[in-house]
Structure 1
Amino acid sequence: MTVLLLPDRLSLLRFPREDLEHCSHAILKHILFRDYRKGREPLFSYVDNSLEISIFGDAEALSRNFVKEQCPSIEISSHVYRALQVDN
């Protein structure tokens, strides 16, 4: 088994489900207009439940694409997370 620490620096972002309309532009921008010059697909995870929407993604891109003026109730974690890749 091989465990690798991926170079991605990730943040967790969340907002109430009822604010999806206000944040949808930022979500689409984040998905469709990624910086492909890095040579790889950045990690992105979207979780939608009955109360809130949570997104794990590139820390720099999330802070750039999701601004308080567009999504007032947004919360971006101050913690930076790292991802592991586990192969057999």
Structure 2
Amino acid sequence: MLTCQAIVKSTIGVGVDDEDRKQTWVADAEECTKRGSIETARAIYAHALSVFVTKKSVWLKAAQLEKSHGTRESLEAFY
């Protein structure tokens, strides 16, 4: 998980305009989820939440990921 987070943090903004970050990152996380790359989706949401702390839509998407693919503890860790 830590390696995945480090890779995501280092590369997630490459080639993405600042005004497109939220939409692009959420779409990337959703695509990762569809492919079964849950840890990568978690890492993307974790980074997005560190940048967009007040964006309810990102919090809800991250919570939905944990409800579907995580544990009670992983869901609570997001809050």
Same fold (TM over 0.5): no
- Provide the TM-score with structure 1 as the length reference: 0.27
When normalised by structure 2's length, the TM-score is 0.29
Q: Which structure exhibits the higher relative contact order, with contacts defined as CA atoms closer than 8 Å and separated by 6 or more residues?
A: 1
Greater fraction strand: 1
